[in-house]
Amino acid sequence: MSNHATYDDASLILRLYELRREERMRAARKWFAEKCGPETLEEFRALCPPGTDENAFFRQVSTYYEMVASFVERGVLDGELYFQSGGELFLVYCRLEPILAEYRAAFKNPGLYRNLEAVAKRYEAYINRNDPEAGTAFRARMRTMLGKK
């Protein structure tokens, strides 16, 4: 990661923050954080049937963070600067991770959410630099939020 964040990086982060504050996106993020945590593709399909608000919320949040991750992956946005305030991306990945292989296979798209996965792994390494258990602790908190052990 670069230590050369620019004014443009800061401006993009602020713009991304503004987009997160849009009313529908806030509702989608709230639902995702509180309710989305399928452990199988079958659970996902029951939780987010096509045509429902839940399905729209899932797509809105997951594709938003895939887009953000693509900016980091392509070097448009300094990853280290983003990581200093971008923990929600890791939450999204943690919620998708259990179903990601099945989801990719079902949609016959092995590249689905590749940017999100790559950047989330970099984020986890970033937080683990201060404490090697930080990523594990974060994952545990995400499960607890859903009432899972």
Query: 9-54 pLDDT, tens per residue?
Result: 999 999 999 999 999 999 999 999 999 999 999 999 999 999 999 9
149 has pLDDT over 70: no
Q: Concatenated DSSP letters for 80-136?
A: HHHHTT-THHHHHHHHHGGGHHHHHHHTT-TTTTHHHHHHHHHHHHHHHTT-TTHHH
62 has pLDDT over 50: yes
Number of domains the chain is built from = 1
Three-state SS for 25?
A: helix
Residue span of the structural domain in which 125 resides: 7-145
Instruction: Indicate whether 54 belongs to any domain.
Output: yes
Instruction: Give the burial class of 147: count Cβ atoms within 10 A of its Cβ; 0-12 exposed, 13-18 middle, 19 or more buried.
Output: exposed
3 has pLDDT over 80: no
Query: In this structure, which amino acid lies at residue 43?
Result: E
Instruction: Indicate whether 68 belongs to any domain.
Output: yes
Instruction: Indicate whether 55 belongs to any domain.
Output: yes
- Ramachandran area for residue 108 (φ above 0: left; ψ -120 to 50: alpha; else beta): left
- In the prediction, which pLDDT does 1 show? 47
Asked if 109 and 50 touch (Cβ cutoff 8 Å), the reply is no
Average pLDDT for residues 127-132, to the nearest whole number?
93
pTM of the prediction? Answer: 0.92
**Over the stretch 103-119, which tens digit does the pLDDT of each residue have?**
999 999 999 999 999 99
Instruction: Indicate whether 94 belongs to any domain.
Output: yes
How many CB atoms neighbour CB 76 within 10 A? 12
Helix, strand, coil percent values for the chain (each to nearest 5): 70, 0, 30
CA distances (Å), 89 to each of 31, 47, 63, 130, in order?
15, 21, 11, 19
